Structure 1
Amino acid sequence: MKAMVLREHGGPEKLLLETDFPDPKAGAGEVIVRVRATSLNYHDIFTRRGMPGIKVPFPAIMGLDVAGEIVEVGEGVEGWSTGDRVLVDPINRVEGGLMGETVHGGLAELCRAKDHQLIRIPDGVSFEEAAALPCAYGTAIRMMSTIGEVSKGERVLILGASGGVGVCCLQLAKLAGAEVVACASTPDKLARLKELGADHTINYRETDFVKEIYALYGKPNRRSAGAKLGVDVAVNYTGGDTWVKTLRCLRVGGRLLTCGATAGFDPQEDLRFIWTFELKILGSNSWARTDVEKLLALVQSGELKVILDGSYPLAETNDALRRIEDREVFGKLVIVP
């Protein structure tokens, strides 16, 4: 089969198209999926580069989010048949492991998965839409709903709002009845965020988002709990030099939600804001299977939009990853083998 194969960590030149990679075979409790779409995530870039403490077995096929049709059913598999449209939960919650990292993922024509990882794709949801959900949208719904408990009337600041996680965070905040300030780096992205429902937008490359928040909602101080100056919730999964600035935007008792660190995991810290303003720093990690099922239902009903910024053939995976790395994407990119 054709597959994008990583045989050692490094730059884009290490991820190569191979046309004769061995086809996977279904063992007991497994199925083979003909990949119809797999979405890319910043996690794929980290995997290609190599991450401290995570051992990737080589050769590796990346791609966490896999949607397609079952073409082979292994011994002991019940409730699934060839031709079924399925989304694969990337996390193996029984034996352990992660698709596209510790086991072969979706950047190939065929993919092997455990039967307990399969989620049926409902009618009216495309393979591309389904493939965009687990990693990015799943992370967003857990962070905003389960962990963050964003609610009606709250003010929510979202950094990196134009990415895959960000566009879902924006929509979920609006579904909850919150007022949203979305940050991005270009006028085009800001306009599209407005179309998605953002109440206010900030171009963080042209202006200081902290000053913009103060202009909108006032500058928080330790005696301002009753006045509710600043935002109730801030979403920051970039880290880097935006971390302390984000703390400064929160009201007394505010919540900072984080699920990653695409711009740096060891930012400068200022503990004075945390204790003075009694802030809550809430981390969120991955998603539950029920989160993905809820997302599929929301997409099917039309309440949630899957924002796709383009699809690429397998051979152009590195071009798509470059766009993600250079932050040129609004929403999600998918590979269609």
Structure 2
Amino acid sequence: MTAVVISGLVVACSSESPEGSNTKTLELSHVQTATDFAFFHVFATEFQSNVREYSRGELDVQIIPAGQLGGERVMAEGLQLGTTDSAIISSFQLGNFTAPLLTFDLPFLLPDYDVANQILRSESAMEPFNQALREVGMVPLAWGNGGFRSMISNTPGVETAEDLRDIKIRLPESRVYMEAFKELGANPLPMAFGEVVPALQQGTIDATENSLQGIYEQRWFEVASEISLTEHFFSPIPMLIDERIWAGFSPEEQKILRKAAIDAANYEHEFLTETHDEAKALLREEGVSFSQPNTDELRKDTYPLYRSFLEGENGEYLEHVLRETNQAHLIEDIYRA
């Protein structure tokens, strides 16, 4: 196969194609390795398969997994600088580039997977966030589901905010994530992903958090044995493309890519929902204990953070999400708290 680069796209002349035809190949990056519960990779491979099928081989996708092009922040910067074609990126990283995306960092924002999948599939619900991303040079094709994050610790399970008092918990570097756990009385610490295991072993931290699938894949149950099903954060994972790369596709090609991405996202939503229970069962087999906190009470403890968000310049985005998910009644509760 020979290839040339045109407007950032690899255009490959393939011997498998009819003579004289060209295949446009889009590079798609993400940070996960190809494992059983790797929902980023499932999203990517389903998109790849759909693109090949829907375009009848005229378009292709080259997946670059495992953070080969850098972490999610580097990928997001690459979409703006022209060094990344497309990528699947967690929303908590994108808030660093466009403030409306910080909305999804709020704790206990969505109640369950059904509501989460419903809003991610709603064009009207997601359009304000699509527009915010387009304004910084990132074109969203579809929104994947990054799951609900729960806590795994070397301390007794969490039932109330009091159980979180002074707990040292590793969190991703999200300002809202940090503020949320401070409101709950914990001591949140930013820390590189690869440092979590030794930090738990050495007592530098008491806890960390992730989706149940992520906790199992990282084998954190080998160094911590208590999971609190807090489901405190929900993280969408949009598939984004550099606006200049997007402009290089014809309207018909754009239609194919968008449909391929939406269908892949819907597939990934179901995959993530199903594997949540599977991961929970596997963690039980490994000897992990589970506790079920009262998340309604925990959310009330974070209402000061909600109020500051509602009163800020991006409060309309939070109101929008609450209304789209039939939770508008919470706005009065937040101001009364």
TM-score, L = length of structure 2 = 0.29
The higher-RCO structure (CA 8 Å, 6+ apart) is 2
By percentage of residues, which structure has more helix? 2
